[in-house]
């Protein structure tokens, strides 16, 4: 199933919709709407999708036409214990770099969310055991880098996700990972 996201307005002519969307629209009664940046007002005719009915692709319309999107996690890594030795000025500069990256995403209309994570030394992991999960006050995997934060973005594909990630403050590195969507 394909979900239609109407960002600016509903298409008025069949010629405005890609063929793949038209074939799926015939199956959708009523049209399932979804807002990218704000919730829609209550509409009793809008159908709630069960997990089995959720879309495998999302199409949305904006000034440049129809696009198919996927979600990607940008996993941000920093050297282990890096933030222990950072001055307030360096911290402020890092925050400003991430604010500029967030502004870039907003300007391009890229749906995103993100958070900074505390150091791995403050993590708690659950590991399986015969008596159920056992908690340990340590990271799940010991690395030389800390997973310092993440962004969750929506874009056309891995190449566009890489292009977007190249503008993100890089630290020790960024892993771009597709998100499973049910």
Tens-place pLDDT, residues 71-90: 999 999 998 888 888 899 99
CB atoms under 10 Å from CB of 148, counted, come to 21
Q: Locate CATH 3.30.70.1060 in the chain.
A: 70-178
* Per-residue pLDDT at 99 exceeds 70: yes
Q: What is residue 95's three-state secondary structure?
A: helix
Query: At 122, is the pLDDT very low, low, confident or very high (cuts 50, 70, 90)?
Result: confident
pTM for the whole thing? 0.62
Q: Does domain 70-178 match CATH 1.10.1020.10?
A: no
Closest Cα partner for 71 from 84, 87, 60, 82? 60
Dist CA 74 CA 153 (whole Å): 8
Average pLDDT over residues 51-60: 50
């Amino acid at each position: 199933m394909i979900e239609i996201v109407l960002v600016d307005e509903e298409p008025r002519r069949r010629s405005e919709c890609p063929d793949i969307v038209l074939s799926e629209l015939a199956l959708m009664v009523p049209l399932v709407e979804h807002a990218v940046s704000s919730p829609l007002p209550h509409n009793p005719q809008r159908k709630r999708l069960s997990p089995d009915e959720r879309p495998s692709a999302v199409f949305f319309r904006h000034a440049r036409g129809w696009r198919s999107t996927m979600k990607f996690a940008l996993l941000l890594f920093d050297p282990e214990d890096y933030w222990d030795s950072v001055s307030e000025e360096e911290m402020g500069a890092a925050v400003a770099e991430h604010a500029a990256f967030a502004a870039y995403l907003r300007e391009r209309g890229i749906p995103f969310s993100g958070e900074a994570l505390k150091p791995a030394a403050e993590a708690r992991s659950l590991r399986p055991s015969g008596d159920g999960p056992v908690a340990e006050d340590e990271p799940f995997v010991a690395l030389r880098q800390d997973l310092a934060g993440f962004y969750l973005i929506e874009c056309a594909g891995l190449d566009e996700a890489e292009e977007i990630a190249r503008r993100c403050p890089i630290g020790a590195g960024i892993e771009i990972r597709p998100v499973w969507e049910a």
